[in-house]
Structures are given as C-alpha cells and as structure tokens.
Structure 1
C-alpha cells in the first residue's frame, strides 16, 4: 500500500475562485504484513465498515501503468452453483455500463474520458458467456473473523477458476498490449450482489482490486496464473449490479492510485471529493455520478500539471478544474515533501454529485 502520511481537504470560506486545498501525501510506498485486497468503500447508506475490516491491511497499489491512449480491459463473467446471474445481464448490458459514450447511461469509459480530458479511453471486451463456478457463492464470499472473503482461502482463487474456465475460448495474449507478458487489465464480474452495498451479509463478495499471488496452493512455492503464454496477475472484481462509482474506484487502483479513505473511523480521508474515497458513491442513485479525481490523483496520473505559486495570487480567478485542468501548488517552506494543491471544483459533468462547489 502507498503510505499516506497526511491527506487533508479543507473547504475555504473564500470566493469560488479558490477551492479545495489538499495536503499532499508524502511520497512513500509501504507493503503491510499480510496485505489483502483494496476494497471499494461501503455505500454510506448501508452502514460503515464492519469492525473486522477496520483492522485489515490492504494490498500495495500497483506500479503506475498506462494513463494515456487506449486501455483494453478483458471482462469475464462468472456465476455460482447456487447463484445464477440475472438473465438481463448479458454482454450488451455490460457493454453499456462500461463502454457507452452517449445517451442516458453513464459508463466507466465516459467517466475516464471526462476526468482525463480525453487523455485516456477505456475499451472493455466483454466475454458474454456466464461461466459457472463449481462452488456456491458463500465458498468465496464467506468472511473470517479478521478479514473479508477469506474464510476458505484468498478471494483471488475465484479469478483462477474464471480464467481456467474461459481459457478454451479466450486468447489472453491479445490483452497484453504492451508486450510485457502480463494481461493489462482484467475485470471479473460475479453473479449476485456486492458486499459493499450490504456490509452485514458476510457471505457476499466485496468489490476490490488485488492480484493472483498463487494460482495453485497444492504446489510448493507461489505459482503464477498463465494462459496463452501470458500471466494473469492484477485484476478488479465487481458484482453484476455494480454502479459506475464502484468500477471507477477499482479501475483507479489498476491505474496505480491508492485508497484515499480511512477504515479506522478517525476521519473520512478524502471523503466525497475523490472516487478513491467516498466520492465513488456520489449521485442519486448512489454511485451514479462519482466525483472527479482530486487534484492530487489527477497529478499522480499525469492528467494535470500544477502551476507552482511563486508570487501573490490575491484576486486571481481559477477556472473550474473539471474543464480546465488548472491546479496551483503551494510549497511549504522548509519541506521538500509537503505542499498544498488548490483547485476550483464545480458541479460539472460527473462532479454534479458534489454537495457544494468552490
């Protein structure tokens, strides 16, 4: 996990030309012992984090990947021996949720095109067959007393099963577009509801981003999951009824962003101002209009270049970051790692779900 020393969002009592100020995270990477999956934050309307999750470390964020051009995503669908998929959730349904660029359906693709201001285009290929697991949903979804979806082993075992079921009909090598021997982006969609919308139901699967660390626990050592000569490693997992905000949050991890929420109850982290925190649930219905990335996330992904403030900006007007990409950086005297980022957030596009502006 990327260690976050400080992340502070303050709404200033100033004209709307000055906006949120973020106290930037110190640049440091940490991998906690026994790291687990990076989880979508729970729907606020469904309650907070279960107590046993407040203690759970999360997996390290991946090395930042391609954030411009076209990002290809392979989407596999899997149902369970006791939980069949909704018959209306076919390939066309998921194509609309992931790839549509117009009309009334907001998609993950339209979100990232808007937030990156055209720098990144998502192209999801949905394998429309619902593969069927040999196990009931509770086999993978059951929580232990200390973690989520781990009572019968790590949840990535469901990815292993899905890949092996799909292997005869899918050319996994075609989804390694950069030639590094690893599938670029894999999304596994499972039948049934997600636990992030039902935190108290401990047999459901919590949407997350993780990696296949050991494809065969019966063989000594960690065995890679491979198919068609490439490795399947990082993945995201969502329920069949996922909202745009959930998929947006998890794909943010695939791009290299860390979680910006707080699971110990002491704060809200970045709160509703970033989809890597509670902003993934903005909109009505919840999750339909996830927040734009915060200035720090945009900077990390290379979608904005902050202007360093070296002189007084009193009276300066700041254009809405959603359309201008304008961000100012204020360095802290005597520190080389801490700084403020200033942006003007307005209810434009996906940011229409924000509770305020400025």
Structure 2
C-alpha cells in the first residue's frame, strides 16, 4: 500500500517545506479542495493528461514509452503482459458505455536533476521534492499542449495531472530510498497557473511495478491508475485513510485494495454503490410490504440499463441517511479475480457529509460510514467468509442494527447461490 501521510504532515508541507512549494500528500487525492468540488462530469467524453517523466540520470527503458503508455491507457482490448483491457476499456465497461475517457500522453520529459533528488524523503518520510517534479513537468509540457483542454467542468482547475516516472517506485522497493514513492497529492496552493488553468490534483506512479531485481520486469498495469482516476469521478477511499488499519473492504473494492488484483492487470470492477455514486446505475429501492418478496439477483458485472435484469437493490432507513445495499458479485468480467463471490451487503451512512467529501469515510473504526457486512469469520487474508451464503453457508441475514441502536426492520431468508445468481426472500419486520 502506498504511504499514508497525516494531516499534520500535510499542514507542515503547506506552510513552507519542499522549497516553499506547498503540497499535501496521501495515497489518494488529498482533499485540499473537496472531492465533490473537483468532481468531473462522469457522462460522455473526457480528455485526461498524462506526462511521462524521466530524470537526468534515469531514463525510460521500455520500448517506445509514449506509445506503450498510450496503449495501456487507451487501446481497445489491451492485452500486453496478460492485461484484461486498458484504462479506457475499464471505464467504458463499468459505466455501461456512458463514460468515454481518452488520455493524452506527453513525453518523456527529462527533468534537470537526478531521480534521487525528487525521491528524497524528509524526516517523516514524505517526498519533499515531489511537488517540484510535478511543477517542472507541467512547465515543460506547456510548450507542447494547451492545459485549458484539461478542465472538463470549467472550474478553472486542471482535472488531474497523472505522471508516470521512469524506473521503479519506493513503495515496492523500500530499501531504495532514491526511488520516488507512488502517491497522489494536490499542489493547488503553489498557484501554478498555465493557460489560465491552475494545476492542483496530481498522482504519480512508476514505469515498472514490483522489485527492481525481478528477472522479468513488469511494466506498469492499469490498477493504480483506475483507483486514482476514480477520485476524479468523486469516489472516496474506502480503506482507513488515517491509519491504514482496520477491517475495511480490502480487495473487494477498487477504492480499497481491489486495484491490485492480478498485479493490477484486472482490478476489481465497480460495485453497485460505486456505479450509482458515479451516476452509471439506477438501483431500485424496495419499500416495506406485508408479504415476503422473492428476489433473484444477477451479477453486477452483467448490468446493463438496456436489459431488464436485477443486479442490486437497496433499502432506505426512514428518518436517517442510512441505507443497506445488496448486490451479487461473481468472478466474471472485471470481477474475475475477486477473492470472494456471492451476495454482498453494505451498510452505508451518508449523515456526515464532511467524511464523504473530505475522504475520511472509514477513518473511525467505531463508526465506519461504508461498511461491508460479513457473513461470518473474516480476516484480511480470507475473503471466503464475507459474502452470503459464503464459506459458512449463512442462508439468513437477521435484522441488522442501525447507528441509533434500532433494528432496521427487515431480514433475508433462504439465501442461496446457483449458477452465478443469488436467490433470497426479503421479509419485512414490524
């Protein structure tokens, strides 16, 4: 997992470190301005900016890097190194063909200093010169491109600059302190304005993934990019961005560790909630009735607005901002490497707008705002116990509690999984 920087460190950076170029870090986009404020339109065409950066002493070694990364980002059916598609493929599929991103690749641009300078760590292990890397890269790129084309929502901010830097990252080679730690951040306080657009949100990762002594070097894959770009669509992280600890969604979500599935070649697909959040899926709300409701759920990966099949539903708790989401996730499509399959149940609390907007959804272990309910015993290394029926063959889901201590007023019975479909009975409790 990439480094997690505390708010305190971010504050220090913002008041004068890194050669007076303030920058805030996290392993996600740090919310100097809110996720909601920076969110782009998730429907239609989108142009993104990607810059390839090398250093005075370290250059790209993959063949034709510009073409190689353009293919990784944009090529239909991209299959290099066993990939299951490009970044563009991933978002077209998960959006039900509502969102068509294209990423323009610039470079490689060679910066004037050695890699070890930009990778230098401060006393708290923060990348103290990373902001300079971003600023220098953007200034050089400005001679080739018009930055005004990369502000899709006309908020005067460039939507995001993504940098692939030469060589490997420190994340996966912790003994190589000269390497840069793959991360994301925001340099909006640096007031770097090009073509009347301010550069703020950025993310960066390396040319290669894995160890630098691996006999078969693996070029960057799409997983990390898909995770970081999902922030541009407004999605927060679902791991604990404060400490990185706790039982969160792990590999079941692209916004937790699901971007690493199959070494990032086939990251987890969007969940039903994530698709709804991005305005790509309409999830029906089931209202209380006096009879048992029999429900059949098809896999979320098969969802299409053009086909009248049910893949997910939700229950709204009256007089609260709490919801329960139910979806069928199966090992197919972008979900083919999910570590557990079946009925997934989420308890979602939208009452704290700041937690959602400022990327702190699951920082409180005593009150997570996006919680995956487990069917049985669960550790971070055994996901078979998360779904229903799951490893324990849990065929019932008894009335859950909401945050004020009341029961939610429903239960599920006769949960079963057959031929990739989930069947269950929903019973309302008075």
| Fold shared by both chains (TM-score > 0.5) | yes
Residue in 1 that maps onto 2:197: 230
Greater RCO, 1 or 2 (C-alpha within 8 Å, sep 6+): 1
Q: CA deviation at 1:226?
A: 1.4
TM alignment of 1:36-185, pairs within 5 A: 36-39=24-27, 58-59=30-31, 62-63=35-36, 64-105=39-80, 106-127=85-106, 129-150=107-128, 153=129, 155-185=130-160
Q: 2:173 aligns with which of 173, 191, 198?
A: 198
Q: TM-score, normalised by structure 2?
A: 0.64
RMSD: 2.4
What whole-Å deviation, never above 9, does each CA across 1:174-213 have from its counterpart, x for those lacking one? 3334443332332221111123333453332232332223
Residues in 1 aligned to 2:201 and 2:240: alpha-carbon distance in whole angstroms: 23
Residue in 2 that maps onto 1:261: 239
Q: 1:249 aligns with which of 214, 227, 235?
A: 227
Residues in 2 aligned to 1:235 and 1:265: alpha-carbon distance in whole angstroms: 21
Q: 2:273 aligns with which of 296, 312, 327?
A: 296
For structure 1, list consecutive stretches of 5 or more residues without a partner in the other structure. Answer: 1-30, 41-56, 216-223
Indicate how the Cα distance of structure 1 residues 115 and 95 shifts in structure 2: closer, same or farther if over 3 A, else same: same
Residues in 2 aligned to 1:177 and 1:265: alpha-carbon distance in whole angstroms: 32
Residue in 1 that maps onto 2:405: none
Residue in 2 that maps onto 1:330: 315
Residues in 1 aligned to 2:154 and 2:240: alpha-carbon distance in whole angstroms: 36
Q: CA deviation at 1:103?
A: 5.0
Q: CA deviation at 1:58?
A: 4.7
Indicate how the Cα distance of structure 1 residues 66 and 156 shifts in structure 2: closer, same or farther if over 3 A, else same: farther
For structure 2, list consecutive stretches of 5 or more residues without a partner in the other structure. Answer: 1-5, 11-23, 209-219, 305-310, 343-430
**SS at the partner of 1:169?**
coil
Q: CA deviation at 1:89?
A: 4.5
Aligned length: 297
Residues in 1 aligned to 2:151 and 2:244: alpha-carbon distance in whole angstroms: 39
1:356 aligns with 2:335: no
Q: TM-score, normalised by structure 1?
A: 0.75
**SS at the partner of 2:251?**
helix
Residues in 1 aligned to 2:198 and 2:188: alpha-carbon distance in whole angstroms: 11
Indicate how the Cα distance of structure 1 residues 313 and 102 shifts in structure 2: closer, same or farther if over 3 A, else same: farther
What whole-Å deviation, never above 9, does each CA across 1:105-149 have from its counterpart, x for those lacking one? 42111111111111111101112x321112222222223342431
Q: Which has the larger radius of gyration?
A: 2
Residues in 2 aligned to 1:209 and 1:276: alpha-carbon distance in whole angstroms: 14
What whole-Å deviation, never above 9, does each CA across 1:67-91 have from its counterpart, x for those lacking one? 1111111111111122111141422
Indicate how the Cα distance of structure 1 residues 231 and 213 shifts in structure 2: closer, same or farther if over 3 A, else same: closer
Indicate how the Cα distance of structure 1 residues 265 and 73 shifts in structure 2: closer, same or farther if over 3 A, else same: closer
Greater share of residues in strand: 2
Residues in 1 aligned to 2:96 and 2:89: alpha-carbon distance in whole angstroms: 10
